[in-house]
Amino acid sequence: MHPAPSVIIFTTLSGLGFGLLAWLGLGFPEVTGWVAFTFFAIAYALAVGGLVSSTFHLGHPERALLAFTQWRTSWLSREGVVSVATLLVMAVYGAGLVFWGESWRLLGVIGAVLSLGTVFCTAMIYAQMDTVPRWKTPLTPLLYLMLSVAGGALLAGQVKAAMLLLPLAAAAQVLWWMRGDGAFAQSGTTLATATGLGGTGKVRSFEHPHTGSNYLLREFTFQVGRKHATKLRSIAMLLGYVLPFSLLIMPFSHALALVAVLSHLAGVAASRWLFFAEAEHVVGLYYGKR
């Protein structure tokens, strides 16, 4: 799949933002006044910034309100509804903390659940795609949720939790990669089933329907070299998990914490780039790819 920057930025930032909101909703850290304001500002900047960036790849962003209507069947629509609900609930909860120094616990817990619900909906947009076997697994929402809570813990300054969650997220990541590498072959979709011509012999794409490029080739047949992908996986591992974890072991300082957060963010962005770039869509078969 084409790794569109708007979607990578969106899923990376908003995942982290909603993760932080979840921790704040549960009262970790228990903050009020200006400190609460700062935490909430960071969380909203990430979550809303991500959501706004996701509208950049739309052909008609002015009609985006319609995307709230089809929540009965569409995970994208559900994501929209749940994210707005989250932002509203957490805004009220945050206002309580900032202006009245009150922690309305129940509201916070609801907000936390909604936050993770948003991340789950985002992940399900991909995990529901039969057409992309690498994505079609419960491991996809698991990975998104793990990254969100681990990154959120890091941002919320929950050092102990982060030290537990980062390795768990790393494990989910490795598991997701390992399963993903064999997923296309496992899916059973081949050029033979795509054309129905496998019965008589070996099918090969002889000629494309067009000499130039088209939407399908641009959107669905992106391929990364194996070497390139392995390198990026190492970078994602190192920046996303290993470095932040090592920094957490050291005596706490705000500067180190900041480096840990930025490194984690860069690592997740690299992993997210691969999430799209390595994903093989079955339509590529018709063009003799895969």
Partner 1 sequence: MTTLPEKTDRKLGLVIDLDTCVGCHACVVSCKGWNTENYGAPLSDQDPYGADPSGTFLNRVHSYEVQPEEGAAQLIHFPKSCLHCEDAPCVTVCPTGASYKRVEDGIVLVNESACIGCGLCAWACPYGAREMDAAEGVMKKCTLCVDRIYNVNLPEEDRVPACVRTCPAGARHFGDLGDPESDVSKLVEERGGMDLMPEQGTKPVNKYLPPRPKDELDQVDVLAPYLQPVAEEPKGFIGWLDRTLEKL
Residues that bind partner 1 in the complex, under the rule CB under 8 A: 1, 57-61, 63-64, 66-70, 72-77, 80, 125, 128-132, 187-189, 191, 193-197, 199-216, 219-220, 281-283, 286-287
Q: Are 148 and 19 in contact (CB under 8 A)?
A: yes
Burial class (CB in 10 A: 0-12, 13-18, 19+), 90: buried
Smallest gap, in angstroms, from Cβ of residue 133 to partner 1? 11
Smallest gap, in angstroms, from Cβ of residue 234 to partner 1? 29
Distance CA 167, CA 134 (A): 22
Query: Residue 224: what are its φ and ψ, rounded to 5°?
Result: -105, 145
C-beta of 73 vs 251, nearer to partner 1: 73
Smallest gap, in angstroms, from Cβ of residue 84 to partner 1? 13
Q: Are 39 and 80 in contact (CB under 8 A)?
A: no
Query: Residue 12: what are its φ and ψ, rounded to 5°?
Result: -70, -55
**Contacts with 258 (C-beta within 8 Å, 6 or more apart), sequence order:** none
Tokens of 147: 């990254």
C-beta of 67 vs 242, nearer to partner 1: 67
Maximal C-alpha separation, the chain: 75
Distance CA 235, CA 142 (A): 21
Smallest gap, in angstroms, from Cβ of residue 59 to partner 1? 2
Smallest gap, in angstroms, from Cβ of residue 53 to partner 1? 14
Q: Are 107 and 89 in contact (CB under 8 A)?
A: yes
C-beta of 63 vs 227, nearer to partner 1: 63
C-beta of 214 vs 230, nearer to partner 1: 214
Burial class (CB in 10 A: 0-12, 13-18, 19+), 270: buried
C-beta of 199 vs 225, nearer to partner 1: 199
Distance CA 177, CA 278 (A): 10
C-beta of 41 vs 197, nearer to partner 1: 197
Smallest gap, in angstroms, from Cβ of residue 60 to partner 1? 5
Distance CA 241, CA 223 (A): 26
Smallest gap, in angstroms, from Cβ of residue 236 to partner 1? 23
C-beta of 38 vs 69, nearer to partner 1: 69
C-beta of 138 vs 198, nearer to partner 1: 198
User: Nearest Cα to 111, choosing from 103, 122, 100?
Assistant: 103
CA 139 from centre of chain: 12
Smallest gap, in angstroms, from Cβ of residue 47 to partner 1? 19
